[in-house]
Structure 1
Amino acid sequence: MKKLTALALAAAAISTSALAAPETYVIDGSHTLPRFEYNHMGYSQQLSRFDKTTGSVTLDRAAKTGSVDVTIDTTSVSTGSALFNQHIQGEDFLATEKYPTATYKSTKVVFDGDKVVSVEGNLTLKGVTKPVTLSVVSFQCMPHPMVKKDACGATATAKVKRTDFNMGKYAPYVGDEVTITLPIEAIKQ
């Protein structure tokens, strides 16, 4: 009987450690299109996006830890106007010739129960790295009905100042504060 109890405890310990293993999800670039929004001279809120994003999300839901690593191809900026895309990619703003990517690397993933509620990390944009906390406004993990694999999705937001990243041309007329919205969908490896 003692042998059977010890075997059952060993099996439980192994299955518990298997449940606590980190899971890595690869970002689905066709459903991860970061957006940025700013005030244009008091007339309107302008909304643009980036069309190419790569990266990964690692979660250990049992341990309530994780990491996020996102790379945005800044040459994929999409404003709705080819001429304005070139303007935004210029030296005064994204300077994509010298800095073709922006990155976000987490330092901490914060959980409330089973849900991710924020991600603390560092945003590198135009060669400048600053701490940025993403507020997660939605988070869901479940089997993906089309790819037949587990998937996680989230929408996160943050506010940054253009001037903090050496992109302050036309401020304050063109708003210094930029709202970043990062919708992520990622498929388990």
Structure 2
Amino acid sequence: MKSLFLAAALATATPFAASAEAVPYTLDPSHSQIVFHYNHLGFSTTYGMFSGFEGDIQWDKEDPAASSVTVSFPVRSMLTGWEARFEHFMSGDFFDAADDEMVTFTSTGIEVTGETTAAITGDLTLNGVTKSVVLDAKLTQEMDHPMENKPWAGFEATTTLVRSDYNLGAFAPYVGDEVEVFISVEAAQAQ
């Protein structure tokens, strides 16, 4: 549920100004979030979020399929809005998470699907399990940032994870096994 995301940032290659090779972009941790939600016993939809993470994108505007993205963040950076839920998620029922346990995503391929869309495939490591996931990504905007005065880009992506695939299936199917993930990131061209 977490990681993924940021791969989206890399995915959306559009035919903007041509570049001869991939240009490094760095995620803006203050404007990058991963929001996830799942069904709770049919009574409600429960939400959580990861924010403040970092990642790197190698973005080739001329050949977006040649781009790449890597992201990592601590699982304990999860925000649930309720401390008891967070502690339960970090317990042996779910993550049994140590302070240094990381979620990682590394892209393995990008398929351009439209002028501003792409499918980003990558390896998501979550709870010690690595699986291939696909992010449906979209470039939301690319231009010089009006306050930072340098190239900036925004991306969104979605995917669905099956938590039992990552040994996080406690209480399924009563608590939904499918987790919907929405990623929104901003990235600045690295200096």
Q: Normalised by the size of structure 2, how large is the TM-score?
A: 0.84
1:139 CA drift (Å): 3.3
Verify: 1:70 aligned to 2:71, yes or no. yes
1:184 CA drift (Å): 1.3
What amino acid sits opposite 1:77 in the alignment? M
Verify: 1:111 aligned to 2:115, yes or no. no
Q: Is the 8 A contact 1:137 1:157 kept in 2?
A: no
Question: Percent identity at matched positions?
Answer: 35
Q: Is the 8 A contact 2:76 2:99 kept in 1?
A: no
5+ unaligned residues in a row in structure 2: which ranges?
1-17
Distance 1:168 1:72 in 2: 21
1:137 CA drift (Å): 4.1
What amino acid sits opposite 1:142 in the alignment? M
1:114 CA drift (Å): 4.5
5+ unaligned residues in a row in structure 1: which ranges?
1-17
> Which residue number corresponds to residue 21 of structure 1?
21
What amino acid sits opposite 1:53 in the alignment? F
Distance 2:128 2:99 in 1: 9
> Which residue number corresponds to residue 13 of structure 2?
none
Higher relative contact order (CA 8 A, sep 6+): 2
Structure 1 runs (4+) deviating above 4 angstroms are none
Q: How does 1:1-189 map to 2 (within 5 A)?
A: 19-64=19-64, 65-97=66-98, 100-112=101-113, 114-189=115-190
Other structure's SS at 1:30 match = helix
Other structure's SS at 2:165 match = helix
Distance 2:39 2:97 in 1: 22
What amino acid sits opposite 1:148 in the alignment? N
Q: Normalised by the size of structure 1, how large is the TM-score?
A: 0.85
1:89 CA drift (Å): 1.5
1:123-172 per-position Cα deviation (integer Å, ceiling 9, x unaligned): 10000000100001443221111211111111101001010000010001
